[in-house]
Structure 1
Amino acid sequence: MKRLPPLPALHTFLITAQCCNFTRAAEQLHITQGAVSRQIAGLEEHLGYTLFHRQARGLSLTAEGLEWLPRIQQVFGLIDEAVEQVGAHRETLQLKASTCVMRWLLPRLLQWQRERPDVPVELTTTVQHGLDFHREQFDAAVMYGAPPDSSLASLHLFDEQLTPVCSQPLLDGPVPLHSPSDLDKHLLLHPTRDQRDWKAWLKAADVNLNTLGKGQHFETLDLAMSVASQGTGVAIGDWSLIGDDLSAGRLVMPFDLKVKTGLGYYLVFPQKPGPSPQLRELMEWLVVQAQAR
């Protein structure tokens, strides 16, 4: 019997075939465009024929690709049905998380569900940073702030490290951004209504800006990062949360300075009754993901 193609590559083919674009497929799969291209190329090599025509304006399916698509759709439809039916009796882990950590957490939970569909997770987000396990029915939470006190069990994920970020075109543009003092020539983007993040970083950089109070304020880190990636201005962000954006080139760091605030991100859970084996496995997996940044 011929060795079957790897399941992740088949899923990548399905998503790519549905949108016929490597970039959009990468966004849906939460991996890089290069990873999508390599998985498709590996699948084609395994099969011995091409699945896509690579064209200047995008992709189109070959005759073989057109034959494959409905079959792969049927396969994943059966898998989805099996997961729903077989896993219906399984207990879903209830996880709560601050919205500020979602940029890091959500792609990893999606990866977890792809790897461990037998351990489903239901995620609830909150703008609050506290949690009362006596009143709220959650198995664990990902919280931002100072180290939790001894009333809660906790696992450390990573520390907050502030650094300015912008788009590559803005960094390469006609307005200089070679030193922190050059920030006076650019629009500052604030991820919160106050200016505490910029103030903390500028203090560490020993720079005073005349334009600090004239920037654009946002309600969330995601909004500030999205606007920064479009080349509108320079945002201040948590390096620990935007590693995926930096790796993908959506954002760049104009300066090397990263400022620790003394705050961080923690997995917290009740001391009693301790975590279930499934929850312990998920939390340990998330810690490994955090250490691999």
Structure 2
Amino acid sequence: MKRFPPLPALHTFWVTAQCCNFTRAAEQLHITQGAVSRQVAGLESHLGYALFQRQARGLSLTEEGRAWQLCAQQVFGLIGDAVEQVGERHRTLQLKASTCVLRWLLPRLLQWQKERPDVPVELTTTVDYSVDFRREPFDAAVVYAPNAEQPTLARHLFDERLTPVCVPALLGSLRTPQDLQHQVLLHPTRDERDWTLWLKAANTQLSPPTQRHHFETLDLAMTVASQGTGVAIGDSALIGEDLKAGRLAMPFELRVPTGMGYYLVHPPGTEPSVGLIALMDWLVSQAQQSQQ
């Protein structure tokens, strides 16, 4: 059976070979110059040949030393990769998302944890639509932004398309958009711009007094609509789970794009981890499937 060289001595040799100087190697390894010299000499004794030529002006690698330098580079490169990959399995990814995308995102993250328990994800929700990676310690975020101003390094999930949503029990009383005149309209914004955009596209004008309520977020308006309180304007891309469960229904086919979209982003200037790349690829594929 072959006797493998001692790994600590091989690592000391590798560091020394990069600078060909015992003193600088000692500084990098945080040991004494004498310890470096002894470990290299011990490795040479184990191998049976010299790895360095000791000269008055310093060290130079022998032919065998150059061969071992390449081997050590591969060995410690593999060890470094293994440390990163194995360690990554136990690190929880930190993901930020606005509450408006939660209806779509949360069921998929639950499915992800079933399929990939080795890549745990912790979700932080907020009413904020953006992320500042300089101040916020997240690995990735789902942001809501204009399609014309796509964030840097963004992965597109889906575009926002507005359509009225209500409980299935109201479908019989909503034959045409004009029938909305007799319903309570639930607005996700105080300025009512979402309903205004959809009604204009539907070539429909409602006369006052139409009953209405205003909410802080689109998600909250759709939640209230699922309780049968009125008709909300919702994002058709986000309500797939509600449609399957029968909590919500879409009375009309018209879906109006707003020019806004949802994007998956990670901190610029950083290389995503293996686990984060897998999560992002999976979420993008889920978004594509949900749009089919």
TM-score (normalised: structure 1): 0.65
Give 1:89 deviation, angstroms. Answer: 7.6
Which SS does the other structure have where 2:180 is aligned?
A: helix
Which SS does the other structure have where 2:238 is aligned?
A: coil
CA distance in 2, matches of 1:147, 1:133: 20
Are 1:87 and 1:118, in contact at CA under 8 Å, matched by a contact in 2? Answer: no
Structure 2 runs not aligned, ≥5 long: 1-85
Q: In the alignment, which residue of structure 2 is the partner of 1:129?
A: 129
Q: 2:278 is matched by which residue type in structure 1?
A: E
Q: In the alignment, which residue of structure 1 is the partner of 2:267?
A: 270
Q: Does 2:249 correspond to 1:252?
A: yes
Give 1:248 deviation, angstroms. Answer: 2.0
CA distance in 1, matches of 2:267, 2:138: 9
Matches within 5 A, 1:1-293: 90-147=90-147, 152-172=152-172, 176-211=173-208, 214-293=211-290
Structure 1 runs not aligned, ≥5 long: 1-85
Aligned residues: 205
Give 1:125 deviation, angstroms. Answer: 1.3
Q: 1:271 is matched by which residue type in structure 2?
A: P
CA deviation vs aligned residue, 1:13-53 (integer Å, no higher than 9, x gap) = xxxxxxxxxxxxxxxxxxxxxxxxxxxxxxxxxxxxxxxxx
CA distance in 2, matches of 1:101, 1:151: 17
Q: In the alignment, which residue of structure 1 is the partner of 2:43?
A: none
CA distance in 2, matches of 1:137, 1:287: 22
CA RMSD of aligned residues (A): 2.2
Are 1:147 and 1:266, in contact at CA under 8 Å, matched by a contact in 2? Answer: no
In structure 2, the CA distance between the partners of 1:151 and 1:233, relative to structure 1 (3 Å rule), is: closer
Are 2:97 and 2:142, in contact at CA under 8 Å, matched by a contact in 1? Answer: yes
CA distance in 2, matches of 1:262, 1:88: 37
Give 1:115 deviation, angstroms. Answer: 1.3
Q: 2:155 is matched by which residue type in structure 1?
A: L
TM-score (normalised: structure 2): 0.65
Are 2:177 and 2:202, in contact at CA under 8 Å, matched by a contact in 1? Answer: yes
Are 2:181 and 2:210, in contact at CA under 8 Å, matched by a contact in 1? Answer: no
Are 2:145 and 2:151, in contact at CA under 8 Å, matched by a contact in 1? Answer: no
Q: 1:232 is matched by which residue type in structure 2?
A: T
Q: 1:153 is matched by which residue type in structure 2?
A: L
CA distance in 1, matches of 2:190, 2:266: 30
CA deviation vs aligned residue, 1:81-132 (integer Å, no higher than 9, x gap) = xxxxx99981111111111111111111111111111111111112112222
Are 1:180 and 1:205, in contact at CA under 8 Å, matched by a contact in 2? Answer: yes
Identity score, percent: 64
Are 1:228 and 1:234, in contact at CA under 8 Å, matched by a contact in 2? Answer: yes
CA distance in 2, matches of 1:241, 1:140: 20
CA deviation vs aligned residue, 1:207-243 (integer Å, no higher than 9, x gap) = 1112476301122333322322232211110000011
Larger Rg: 2
Are 2:186 and 2:212, in contact at CA under 8 Å, matched by a contact in 1? Answer: yes
